[in-house]
Amino acid sequence: MRALWTHVWKEWREHRAVLVGIAVAVPLLTLGALFLMRGEPVTLEKAWPVFVAGAAVLAALSLATELLAGELQRGTLAFVRRAPGGLGLALAGKLVAYVGLTAAAAVLARVAYVGGVRLLAPDVPVPSVLPAETFLFAAPVVVLGLWVLFLSTWIPRGAAAAAAAFLVLGALGVPAWLAHRAWPSFRPPSSVVATGLAFVVGVPLVGLAIGLLRGHRFATRAWRPLVVSAAVLVGAAGLAYGYGFRALDAWVHLTPYDDDFVIAHAVASRDGRTLYVTAARVDASTGERDARTARPWRVDVASGAWSEIAPPGSGAYDVLDWTGASIGACETGAGLVGVMGRDGNAIRWVDADTGATWKTLPTDFAPAELVARRRDELERRTTVRSADGRPVWMLEKRLEWRGADGGLVARALPDGVFGGWAHRWGWMGWRRQDGGGSVAVAIGVDAEGRVVAGPWGRAGTKAVHARLGVGRYLSCDGREAPRGARRWTTVDAATGASVPTPGLLPRDEVVLAVSERTVVVSGEPDAAQRATPAVVDVETGERRPWTWDDGTPMRVTSLYGRATLGDGTRVVGVGASDRGAGYVLVDATSGAPRSFTACELATHPYAIARVDAVGVLLVGRHEIVRVRWGTTTTWSTRDVVFPRRRRAAP
């Protein structure tokens, strides 16, 4: 140990002039800078990392360019070569001196910063303790200096070694930069990051040790240090990049059989023969899909074959996702699919049936041809109806429908109204307020063909609301009301008159309205947070629980993800029922469950499409299944459309 400290003292003695100069310059420069910034308290409070890093740079580069290069230039290593273990002790002393003195410069800058702020701006809050971040901001500078020391074993000139260090680090970063250019949404896993950090810190230390202890053990061959230490650099770089590109290759080439595969979104074509699946990986830290890994696939339903149609960071979406309002429909698939690139600047519009590109347009540009195709899609697929039963759709802040003569009728939304989320009789939209903000409104078309935008619920109350038609809705105090104190009422939207609603319990949640007098509710949850859904007639108060075929009540934790099929049948997602999670088909007339299929719920539970008279495509988290239902709540006929090969059991 005494020999080590002797070498450390030697380094201090040889470089004390420069180090004393840095010790004097750092406080003076810090005070001068703080004096100029004294009128910016926010800047003063947050600027200390700049001072710490700057002081570390001064010390690190001053030492790294002279500790080894200076000795090699002066030829003063001859003595330590002859001493047993002399080169090793000299190297250890240099590293201890380098790291310790650079850290001391960072601490000095932090102390000078705290003192200067308290002197020049005493009102700015600055902690007196030395934060660990002081060394964190100095660490990258220390690592850079290690590379300078490493290359000093090749190039015994301090300035040239520093320039070479920058060049080598830049060259080592070129493959990573090219990979980022090609796949900007790729984020390396923690193991790759740890490997990169180990490379950046470990290679200069190992290369420095080998270059000095082996390359300079004898002073006969000048090229020997370059050969032995360059071999370390090349070999370590090859291993690190091999590991990193292996992770990149696994990330780029996602398959539906990977353990972390998940379906983020899916769209069916109009003829039901093709699926456009946006696949992604699961983020291990959150358990949710990682949007950066999403990429669209085109899937043939008949064969299950799939092909990637855009690189990672992209997605394929229904043309109606850009109309500004939902339609509440999944009777048929899309006729047009938009493939959005990872930069989000353009959309490639693809004919969903053939896969042929129709047009590529800027994201914010909708020419007349695109508007016309959107209108055709809306008219074909909407399930929203006016008060007299006519199909209605929303396009570009207008409600549109066909008149008695078959002509197109278009009515603009009232000023300040926009929306929204579709239900059977219209949309939940919003009306901008003069003082800012917005209030929910119910948008629809009455029996006289007039666009109405009445109140969605009772003004000034935090209430739960559900529509019963264009002019009527259910209202209930919010969840913050005491247990048992909530009361459901039926409200006339035009007059505001309300009457108590029979049959609804205080903790019921309305899942869907089957008709203007029949609703499906989630039921009162028990201690295990499971409830029995029920069909309620809001006129008579009759309540019919959902049951399985054997007459036992259904017990579920949640109902959501509802969609409407062409015959009025509703598809409702079921969370954790007593027969598993999946989907229930709800009869259009009675509201009773007609069929159940087990399927892990999707990331987007609305991604459901009708494929034939008795079949529906259900999008699960890891698979897409085709279900043909019967007339009872038994397991339906179920076959996996994608992927065809079953996933391995966990």
Structure confidence by residue, pLDDT tens digits, 590-643: 888 877 776 654 444 444 566 665 667 777 778 887 776 655 545 456 778 888
Q: Which of 16, 643, 649 is nearest to 275 (CA)?
A: 643
Q: Which residue has the higher pLDDT, 129 or 212?
A: 212
476 CB-near residues (< 8 Å, 6+ apart):
463, 464, 465, 486, 487, 488, 489, 504, 508
What is the pLDDT, as a whole number, of residue 604?
41
Q: CB–CB of 634/628 below 8 Å?
A: no
pLDDT above 50 (res 58): yes
Asked whether residue 328 carries a pLDDT value surpassing 60, the answer given is no
What does the pLDDT average to over 548-553? 81
What average pLDDT score do residues 332-348 get? 86
Partners of residue 279 on adjacent β-strands: 263, 295
On whether residue 43 sits in a domain, the answer given is yes
* Closest listed residue to residue 165, CA positions, set 71, 68, 49: 68
**Helix (H/G/I), strand (E/B), else coil: 268:** strand
For residue 369, pLDDT beyond 80: yes
Q: pLDDT tier at 648 (50, 70, 90 boundaries)?
A: very low
What is the reported pLDDT for 350? 94
Where residue 184 falls among pLDDT bands split at 50, 70, 90?
confident
**For the ranges 282-286, 465-469, 511-515, 544-548, the one whose mean pLDDT is highest:** 544-548
CA distances 306 to 386, 460, 626, Å, are 41, 52, 17
98-107, 142-151, 226-235: least confidently modelled range: 226-235
- Average pLDDT, rounded, for the chain: 79
- Tell me the average pLDDT across 186-215: 82
CB 426 within 8 A of CB 456: no
In a domain, 395, yes or no: no
For residue 465, the model assigns a pLDDT of 64
Q: Is residue 498 part of a domain?
A: no
User: Comparing 89 with 74, which gets the higher pLDDT?
Assistant: 89
Question: Which of 467, 478, 591 shows the shortest CA–CA distance to 537?
Answer: 591
Looking at residue 426, its pLDDT comes to: 79
Residues 6 or more apart whose CB falls under 8 angstroms from that of 215 comprise 153, 224, 225, 226, 227, 228, 229
Distance CA 134, CA 100 (A): 14
Tokens of 265: 């979104």
The reported pLDDT for the residue numbered 351 is 93
The pLDDT of residue 145: 85
Number of domains making up the chain: 1
In a domain, 189, yes or no: yes
Q: Which domain holds residue 130?
A: 2-252
More confident residue, 152 or 355: 355
Residue 319 to residue 338: CA distance in whole angstroms: 6
Identify each DSSP E strand in 301-373 by its residue range.
Answer: 306-308, 315-318, 336-340, 346-351, 357-362
Find out whether 452 and 470 touch, Cβ atoms under 8 Å.
Answer: yes
Mean pLDDT of 166-190: 83
Q: What's the pLDDT score for residue 11?
A: 72
CA distances from 642 to 297, 308, 580 (A): 11, 14, 21
**105 lies in some domain:** yes
Residues of the chain with pLDDT > 70, as a percent, come to 81
pLDDT, one tens digit per residue, over 403-413 is 888 899 998 88
In a domain, 353, yes or no: no
Mean pLDDT in residue range 210-215: 74
**Half-sphere CA count of 72, side-chain side, radius 13 A:** 27
**pLDDT tier at 358 (50, 70, 90 boundaries)?**
very high
User: Hey, what are 109's tokens?
Assistant: 């800058």
> Once rounded to an integer, what is the mean pLDDT over residues 382-397?
84
Task: Name the maximum alpha-carbon separation found in the chain.
Answer: 107
Instruction: Count the helix, strand and coil residues of the chain and give each as a percent rounded to the nearest 5.
Output: 35, 30, 35
* pLDDT band with cut points at 50, 70 and 90 for residue 252: confident
Which value, in Å, is the radius of gyration of the alpha carbons in the chain?
A: 35
* Token reading at 543: 């309540």
* Euclidean distance between CA atoms 501 and 503, whole angstroms: 7
H or E segment to which residue 571 belongs = strand 570-577
